[in-house]
Amino acid sequence: MKTSYDVLVCGAGPVGLWLACELKLARIDVAVLDRRPVRTTESRALAIHGRTLEMFGLRGCAGDFLGAGRKIPMMEYGALNTRLVFSSFESRFPFTLFLRQTRTEEFLEKRALALGVPLLRETEVTQVAENEAGVHVTTSRGPFSAPWLVGADGARSLVRHQAGIGFDGFDGRVTAMLGDVVLAKPPEGGGILSMVNARGALMMSPLGDDVHHRVIAIDAARPSVEKDTPLTVTELASAALKISGKNYEMGEASWLSRFTDATRLASAYRKGRILLAGDAAHIHAPMGGQGLNVGLQDAMNLGWKLAMVVRKQAPESLLDTYHSERRPVGQMLFDNTLAQVALATDFTPPNLSLRNTMNDVLSFPDVDLMIDTQPATLYDCMKKGEWVHIALAPEKRDDPAFPEWLKPDIVKYIRARCVGNSPSFTGIASVLIRPDGYVHSVTTA
C-alpha cells in the first residue's frame, strides 16, 4: 500500500473532499484518510449559499447540486420575521439552495473519485508528528507521511489537538431540538416559519425533498439539556405546539438530534506543515446555515496555494496568507452566529423588543447583503483552477500586477469583451484572477 504522498488530508467530510478535488485538479499527489466506513447519514447542513454555488460554477460542477436541491430566494437572520431577499444579487445564483448534506457529500465524493483521489476509509488518524521535512501520521491502518497535512477532521479535530493549536471560545449554553419531520399541516407561506416569544423559539422550513420539513425548537422553560439526550417526535411536537399554539400534525422523522451554540475559533489556521480547514478551524451554532459554506470556501482558498507551494511555483509564505485571509472570515462567522443566537434564544421582554426593532430596520429596502459577482463567461475559463489574466482593453494598458513569484507561463491569457452593462467591469482594462475566483489585481482603462 502506498503510504507517502505530497499532501495528506485527514477527514472526508465536505471540506476535506473539496480540498482534495482542488489539489488533484492541480495534479498534486493527495490522499484523504477518514475513520468512517461510509459517508455520513445525517442530513445536517441544508443551505448552500450563492457564493459556494459560484465556486462550484467556476469548476463546472454547480449543475449536480442545482439539479438535486430546492432554490430558496430568501433567508432569515437570527430567526427574525423579516427575510433577507437574495434576488437583487448580481450573481448567477441569487438564492440559497436547500440540499441535505448527505447529497452534497455524495456529489463531492463522486467528483473526488472521478478525479482519481485515493479515499482511504476506515483509516483513523491517532497520532501526528511533525519535523522539518514533513508530517508522520499514525493511523489504524498503519503509518503515512507527507510534507503537508491538512486537518479537515471536524469540530473535535485530533489534528488541531496534536498540533497544539488553541481553540478559544464558549461552551454551549443553549440546546436546540432539531427534527427533519413530515408535517401534515405545514405553516402557511411556503412552509417557512420563524417565531420567538416568551415560551421559546420555533423555526421551520421545507427540507427540499418535497417530503420533510426541518423543525428547530428551543423550549424557554428547558433551554439547556444534555446534547446527547435522545429526542422524540413527541417532545418536538409538544414544544412546537407550546410555542406556536398550533398543531402541525408532526409525523415520521428522518433525523432527530440536538445542537448547541458552542462557538470556537482556531488561534492559527497554519502551524508549520499542518493546516486546518472547516469545522476543525471554527465551530458555531448553525444559524444562517454557514459552517459547510465557510469550510468549503476555506478549502477553495487553501487548495491552489498549497498546490503552488508543493510544485515550488510559490514560496511557503504564500500559505501564511491562508491564515491571514480566512481567519478573519472565521472571526466574522464567530460574531455573526453568536449575534443571531442572542437574538433567537433570549426570551426576556428587552430582547423581544429588540427583535421587533430589528425586524423594522431590516424591512428597509437598502439593508441587505452583498456578495461577489462573476461574469457568466468567466466560469468557462476557471474549470481547471488556473490563474487567469483577462485583457478587456489590451491595446490601452499595461498588465495588472503579478505576484513576483508567479511565472507568466502558467497564467491563462484571455482577450475578452464585456457583453451588456456589467458595472463590475466598467473602466477595467485587464484583470488578474486567482484560481479561487478572487481578483488579485486590475488595471484601469
Ligand X SMILES: Cc1cc2nc3c(=O)[nH]c(=O)nc-3n(C[C@H](O)[C@H](O)[C@H](O)COP(=O)(O)OP(=O)(O)OC[C@H]3O[C@@H](n4cnc5c(N)ncnc54)[C@H](O)[C@@H]3O)c2cc1C
**Residues in touch with ligand X (CB under 6 A):** 10-16, 33-36, 44-47, 101, 124-125, 152-154, 158, 178, 259, 278-279, 286, 289-293, 295
DSSP assigned state of 403: P
DSSP assigned state of 11: -
Write down the least CB distance from residue 428 to ligand X, Å.
32
Alpha-carbon distances, residue 12 vs 121, 177, 208, 403 (angstroms): 8, 27, 24, 32
- Max distance between CA atoms of the chain, in angstroms, equals 70
Write down the least CB distance from residue 79 to ligand X, Å.
14
Residues 6 or more apart whose CB falls under 8 angstroms from that of 332 comprise none
Write down the least CB distance from residue 211 to ligand X, Å.
18
Choice between 291 and 330, CB closer to ligand X: 291
Q: Give the Cα separation of 75 and 368 in Å (integer).
A: 11
Instruction: Cell numbers for 52, please give them.
Output: 459556494
Write down the least CB distance from residue 28 to ligand X, Å.
19
Closest-CA residue to 318 (of 303, 296, 333, 337):
303
Q: Give the Cα separation of 113 and 234 in Å (integer).
A: 41
Choice between 156 and 384, CB closer to ligand X: 156
- 3-class state of residue 416 by DSSP: coil
Choice between 128 and 442, CB closer to ligand X: 128
Write down the least CB distance from residue 157 to ligand X, Å.
7
In the complex, residue closest to ligand X by CB? 13
Write down the least CB distance from residue 154 to ligand X, Å.
3
Choice between 296 and 406, CB closer to ligand X: 296
Q: Checking DSSP bridges between strand 96-98 and strand 70-72, what pairing results, if any?
A: antiparallel
Choice between 47 and 196, CB closer to ligand X: 47
Q: Give the Cα separation of 445 and 427 in Å (integer).
A: 5
Q: Give the Cα separation of 242 and 200 in Å (integer).
A: 8
Write down the least CB distance from residue 423 to ligand X, Å.
29
Choice between 13 and 134, CB closer to ligand X: 13
Choice between 11 and 187, CB closer to ligand X: 11
Closest-CA residue to 417 (of 378, 369, 366, 387):
378
